[in-house]
């Protein structure tokens, strides 16, 4: 899973931010990493600053983990900035042999 913040300067979110640590990073590590030891969270920064541009989460095992992280992003954004989230959600379904079976897209509108 790759989360991109398209305007990091506007969001002004850093890894050292207490909001980011307490609402997102710490919670995900406590809730998901217990059952998924391979879970990795990598952060890329915007133009040599401490502002977060990308969060890469590697080795998700279930759709529930994906949904939990998505929910935590909504919580985080609601605390950092009041916003209207219009999201295109894309779900891909694969066979046991990693063959793409289906792609489902839908829009979700939320005020946070």
pLDDT (tens digit per residue) in 20-62: 888 888 888 888 988 888 999 999 999 989 999 999 999 988 8
pLDDT band at residue 87, thresholds of 50, 70 and 90? low
SS3 90: strand
Per-residue confidence (pLDDT) for residue 112, from 0 to 100 = 44
Percent of the chain with pLDDT over 70: 88
Contact 34, 14 (CB under 8 A): no
Question: In the predicted model, is pLDDT for residue 82 greater than 70?
Answer: no
Q: What is the mean pLDDT of the chain?
A: 84
Residues 7-23, mean pLDDT to the nearest whole number: 86
Per-residue confidence (pLDDT) for residue 47, from 0 to 100 = 93
- Strand runs (DSSP E) across the chain, as ranges? 2-4, 40-45, 52-58, 84-94, 100-111
The DSSP secondary-structure symbol of 51 reads: B
Question: If you count DSSP H runs as helices and E runs as strands, how many of each does the chain have, helices first?
Answer: 4, 5
Distance between CA atoms of residues 64 and 11, nearest Å: 27
Residue 68: exposure state from Cβ atoms within 10 A (0-12, 13-18, ≥19) = middle
Question: In the predicted model, is pLDDT for residue 108 greater than 80?
Answer: no
């Amino acid at each position: 899973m790759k989360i991109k913040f398209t305007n990091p300067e506007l969001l002004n979110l850093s890894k050292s931010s207490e909001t980011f640590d307490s609402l997102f990073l710490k919670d995900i590590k406590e809730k998901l990493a217990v059952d998924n030891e391979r879970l990795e969270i990598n952060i890329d920064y915007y133009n040599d600053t401490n502002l977060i541009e990308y969060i890469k989460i590697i080795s998700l095992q279930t759709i529930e983990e994906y949904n939990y992280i998505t929910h935590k992003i909504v919580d985080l954004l609601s605390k950092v900035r009041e916003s209207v989230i219009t999201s295109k959600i894309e779900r891909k379904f694969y066979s046991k042999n990693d063959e793409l079976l289906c792609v489902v897209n839908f829009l979700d509108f939320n005020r946070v």
